[in-house]
Chain A
Amino acid sequence: MDLTSDDVQDILELLDTLPFGELHLQTARFRLSLRRTADGEWTQEMAALSAPSMLPGEAAPAPGGAVAAGEAAAGQPAPPDDVPGGGGLADQAAERGQADGLRSVHAPLLGTFYRAPRPGAPPFVEVGSHVDADTVVGIIETMKLMNSVCAGVRGTVAEILIADAQFAAQDSALMRVREER
């Protein structure tokens, strides 16, 4: 069940002839709330309540072949997009992860972690790489945007905790860096 804007407009025209400021309608399939604001305008809140009717089973393979290189690549990293604060969050997170002179570099956002700027390219860092606080050590892809992950600390990469193209939860540790002071 899905009401269109025209449907809602028809209901509002009726409501505008009545003294009520709110309408709440709920059935097994949907919920609609309309509320009049202080200056006489309306808001809507809708929800589909019925559970999806899932057809059984995963779709069988069909003619059309496997995913071609171009399409597989379409989901791969584009050039990194510097979101300010990526390094900053890694900074804070790294402080939390401090132990044995090792500091963790954490995922600033949840998303897919990439070790290289693009498929086939050398990784940003390997174990043993020297990094500064602003060295890019990987990319997190979230909602089709590429976000650089900075080391947030000066030192040497001691351990990489996540494989390329794996999903990283927000704040999860991606690698450990042996800090230099």
Chain B
Amino acid sequence: MLRRILVANRGEIAVRILRSCRRLGIETVLAVSDADADSRPARLADAAIRIGPAEPAASYLDVAAVVGAALTAGADAVHPGYGFLAENPRLARACDTAGLVFIGPTAEQLDAVGDKLRARGHAIAAGLPVVPGGEAPTAAAAAELAREIGWPVLIKAVGGGGGRGLRQVYRPVDLAQAVERAMAEAESAFGDPRVYLERYVTPGRHVEVQLLGDGTNVIHLGDRDCSMQRRYQKLLEEAPAPLLDAGLRAGMRRAAVALGEYLGYRGLGTAEFLVDCGRGTFHFLEMNARIQVEHPVTEAICGLDLVAEQIAIAEGRPLRLAQDDVELTGHAIECRINAEDWTYGFRPSPGTITRAVFPAGQGIRVDTHVQAGASVPPWYDSLLAKLIVSGRDRAEALERLRRALGRCQISGVATTVPMHAELTAQAEFARGGLDTAWCARFLGPTTGRRSAAGGTVG
């Protein structure tokens, strides 16, 4: 039994983890940077402990500071949330060394899926279809590979993730320079210059399967559609994926479980797939070995508390339910409310929240770390809140969501609430099953020029 957990994160996920701990009667200590010492999560935790200055590299990304804080606080476990050190095998190992429970997969499993190329190799070994592609150690090798897999291609950083380190190339003449630039960027952003090439599938949908394993048995908790993206950053997610061919859905769920079983996976994880709409096929993309931002849509349709399941597994318990016990009912949609001005190229909008009014009522859940007077610091990602709305079916969830968005009133910083109101009012969105290119077309006329970059966590 865990008695006291150090929550090594900030923002809405910190609040989310605190909430489950409180329900389970587990004491919480929140690790905070100087910028977050007076945050709502710090007020909600049983105690808070400083781990360093505002800059994430010297606080939330500092393994020694996090482990030291856990020991000082007398915690017996560390919950890393998502982003920051959540998938860093060094934190998992440092916890082991210090006699702390790391609430997540084993360090070996983090190694196995953190390197995207190695994850691809494991997926192939587990019998999963992957997007045609492979490693591109040199520009010449990339050119050879591109001829085999066909154009256009996507260059990906082996050490990348969360939508970072991706680059589309449409013409052979651009490939060599693109590979070299991608390698330089990957080196500086991830400390690993290796890149690999995949066929750029378009039109495609991003569908992922939620996995839960205890190291022996693995079950799935249904799928989510995350195709509403801007520059590979998710804006809105839903569960289950709408208008998906039943055979594809069943195939993806089977494939995800097969990968989890192959890895002997322990904890909560997500297998991401790309659905090739043209060919009617699906391909493994990557595995995320952590709780995800969009986990509440799965909780809404399966009725489980996924943080509580993570904690139970970290305590060494076997899965508390078998696949046949998992009942998926209804439909849920999540809007990520970010501090960004969507009318101005999604320009970040740090500042101070003067007022935060959210909708309430049946089928409505709001996960947030902001309240009146809260500071939105410039050092971290721009997620302010997640509005999760569920209903008996997609039509009911969408209708509730539209009305709920109209009752959001956040003052002091610009937010993406108006974008969500417009997006969810679109007739095409109401039909459902859109591909990943749709958002760019929807956003195109209203947000001015765009370029390829980005960098928050998924």
Contacts and interface: CB of A to CB of B under 8 A. Distances in A.
Interface of A: 1-2, 4-5, 8-9, 12, 34, 37, 41-55, 57-85, 109-112, 118-121, 142-147
Interface stretch (B90-98, B125-133, B251-259): B90-98
13 contacts: A41-B403, A43-B407, A52-B47, A61-B64, A63-B67, A64-B63, A67-B62, A74-B57, A76-B189, A78-B185, A78-B453, A82-B451, A145-B453
Contacts of B63: 64-65, 67, 71
A96 B61 CA distance: 39
Interface stretch (B104-112, B360-368, B421-429, B433-441): B360-368
Interface of B: 15, 18-19, 22, 29, 32, 37-40, 42-52, 55-58, 61-73, 85, 88, 90-91, 94, 97-98, 159, 164-165, 184-185, 188-192, 339-340, 344-348, 350, 355-362, 364-366, 371-373, 378-382, 403, 407, 409, 448-449, 451-456
Given A8-B360, A59-B49, A75-B56, A120 B188 contact: yes
Nearest to A29: B43
Given A45-B356, A48-B43, A53 B449 contact: no
A180 B357 CA distance: 51
Contact of B357 (A43, A65, A75): A43
Nearest to B372: A47
Given A41-B361, A61-B64, A74-B57, A54 B366 contact: no
B270 to A, nearest CB: 20
B71 A60 contact: yes
Given A59-B69, A81-B454, A144-B381, A12 B47 contact: no
Contacts of A68: 90, 191
Nearest to B39: A52
Given A44-B360, A48-B43, A71-B57, A54 B454 contact: no
B55 A142 contact: no
A85 to B, nearest CB: 6
Given A54-B47, A71-B88, A44 B188 contact: no
Contacts of B455: 78, 144-146
Contact of B347 (A51, A77, A85): A85
Contacts of A69: 191
Contacts of A80: 453
A54 B190 CA distance: 33
